[in-house]
Chain A
Amino acid sequence: MDDALRELYQEVILDHSRHPRHYGPLAGASHKAEGYNPLCGDRVTIYLKLDADGRVADIGFEGKGCAISQASASMMVEMLKGRTAAEAGRLMQGFLHLVKGEAVGDLAEDDLERLEVMGGISAFPMRVKCATLAWHTYKNAAEEGQTAEGAA
């Protein structure tokens, strides 16, 4: 198999797509957003429980789509749990740079390592949108997705 494919469909990505973490609706979510990629039909819903200061106290997702979109969502929710809004924003910026093959910037080594699992996508520009769908949906949820429960 060629190296680019091997890196893209490495075992950890396939594992996340087959066994997504934090999967399913989150009871009492304060924020929620749905993401849809009309080109592929990929769908992701992100559920958040944000603290008063915006920290991600809990997070979950549901979705349907290609291995890349679902693995990316699963890996993202794993990483974002417990992060402050500022930390989550830095991770997202790092990820968006990474998938375009650009310098990721200043991140903790452990974070960098975990993000870089998805780095192989940069060799597949037609698929970058699959990888970024969950992250953009997270941002929409955090910024504009307050639920009735979250507002209460």
Chain B
Amino acid sequence: MNAPANIKPFDADAARAQFDILSRTVYGKPLVYLDSGASAQKPRIVLDTMRDFADSEYANVHRGVHFLSAAATDRYEAARRSVQKFLNARDENEIVFTKGGTEAINLVAYSFLMPVIQPGDEIVLSVMEHHSNIVPWHFLRERCGAVLRWADVRDDGSLDVAALDALIGPKTRLVAITHMSNVLGTITPLKDIVARAHAKGVPVLADGCQGAVHEIVDVQALDIDFYAVTGHKLYGPTGIGALYARKARLKAMRPFNGGGEMIREVTMDRITYADPPARFEAGTPPIIESVGLAAALDWLSGFDRAAIAAHEHDLLDHARAQVGRFNWLRVIGDAPGKGAILSFEAEGMHAHDLATILDREGVAVRAGHHCAQVLMERFGVASTSRASFALYNTRADVDALIAGLEKARGILT
């Protein structure tokens, strides 16, 4: 997303001051945290809200008649409305809490597709998917005879939507596609993809684990069927995520986990299920985490998100311009309008050696295959180094990365 020029600049320093961890040092050097794509740090308000809730209103939800159970249930359901608002879902009951993005996608695989899929049915996905949006579909391939059809990306990392469209045929049961690649930073044109898939009667699931952090998501405008998010990349706690599913889709879905809270009536020979979303939330849910997630989303929504996006793009541009001077460094993923992730390969320096040296400079980056081995193969690399930017990063962080890269080059080559 390109922010208009007239938006008010985002005050990254003020936002940064809300994250205590960012003022610590590692190995005596100031921490430069460039691994938010793996997991974002949490602002004080998220941690305080979780603590306050646990100290004053915590009990199990949807069970007791006592005061605290009612209070906790209110907070849990309010958290659902925070997610609803954040994604602009029509109805709060279209939000299913999960333990993360992975579980949200697995829920669609097990509950929506598995009951109906036939041998030879096809699932269309892209080569830039995270393993969490690949492996559940491999399960359907292994266990049900589904066929995976892979949409390629161009050399700059952009998605060829026409090529993806051409893969959607009479046997396609689902298009499963990332909203933003965790390696390339590529943003996919979801609205266009959904329109093309729907024209052929095919539902679409988006993996929004990165996309929801950096883009403003409106599931109604996208007209999308499923959208998966995870809390911990959205400045919220671990152990919680959510699946948005259009109401008609949720109604057609078979329960996945069985247990408490997802039933209406259980006898020795009969069972009836609760309505969605409770039908898909068996067992005690991550209650404190739901309250933390709501705090994170409300906090994030309190900013001008277009201004955050402009700030993050400035960091990416700044980094891109500086590494552009290094003829020994190859950036992987240069799609127009991409999000604030910089993956690269450096000549003569393996990603893990590089990450170790950067680490000693206080600079945290990710090195490896980023749970995207299909994409690594597409670009002919075993691993890359990845700097991922968040709203609390600054140009000084980028400069520390660049200095670290030059230092590593001096040591290793």
Contact = CB atoms under 8 A, between A and B. Distances in A.
Contacts of B356: 5, 8, 124, 126-127
Contacts of A130: 352
Interface stretch (A25-33, A60-68, A96-104, A139-147): A60-68
Given A5-B360, A130-B352, 20 more contacts: A2-B27, A5-B411, A8-B356, A9-B353, A9-B411, A39-B368, A40-B367, A40-B368, A41-B369, A41-B376, A41-B382, A41-B383, A65-B382, A66-B350, A67-B353, A67-B412, A68-B352, A124-B356, A126-B356, A127-B356
B357 interface: yes
A82 to B, nearest CB: 30
Interface string B25-45: 001000000000000000000
A108 interface: no
A2 B352 contact: no
Interface in B1-59: 27
Contacts of B27: 2
A124 B357 CA distance: 11
B382 A127 contact: no
A10 to B, nearest CB: 10
B368 A41 contact: yes
Interface in B329-363: 350-353, 356-357, 360
Interface in A5-43: 5, 8-9, 14, 39-43
Contacts of A9: 353, 357, 411-412
A5 B383 CA distance: 22
A127 B360 contact: no
A40 B356 CA distance: 12
Contacts of B368: 39-41
Please give me the 3 A-B residue pairs with the lowest Cβ-Cβ distance, nearest first: A66-B350, A41-B382, A66-B352
A1 B353 contact: no
B357 A40 contact: no
A42 B27 CA distance: 27
Nearest to B373: A41
Interface residues of B, number: 17
Interface residues of A, number: 21
A107 interface: no
Nearest to A5: B360
14 contacts: A1-B407, A4-B360, A5-B356, A8-B356, A9-B353, A9-B357, A9-B411, A39-B368, A40-B352, A41-B369, A43-B382, A66-B350, A67-B350, A124-B356
A75 to B, nearest CB: 16
Contacts of B352: 40, 42, 65-66, 68, 127, 130
A66 B407 CA distance: 17
Contacts of A65: 350, 352, 382
B360 A2 contact: yes
Contacts of A39: 368
B357 A68 contact: no
B318 to A, nearest CB: 26
B55 to A, nearest CB: 36
B383 A1 contact: no
A14 B409 CA distance: 13
Nearest to B28: A2
A39 B350 CA distance: 14
A43 to B, nearest CB: 8
A124 B359 CA distance: 11
B406 to A, nearest CB: 12
A44 B136 CA distance: 30
Nearest to A130: B352
A43 B352 CA distance: 13
Interface string B382-413: 11000000000000000000000001000110
A124 B352 CA distance: 12
A127 B367 CA distance: 12
Interface string A67-87: 110000000000000000000
Contact of A5 (B357, B369, B376): B357
A22 to B, nearest CB: 21
A99 B300 CA distance: 44
Contacts of A14: 412
A126 B26 CA distance: 15
Contacts of B411: 1, 5, 9
A72 B351 CA distance: 17
A5 to B, nearest CB: 5
Contacts of A67: 350, 353, 412
Contacts of A64: 382
Contacts of B357: 5, 9
A124 B360 CA distance: 10
A124 B358 CA distance: 13
Nearest to A38: B369
B376 to A, nearest CB: 8
Contact of A68 (B353, B369, B376, B382): B353
A8 B352 CA distance: 13
Contacts of A66: 350-353
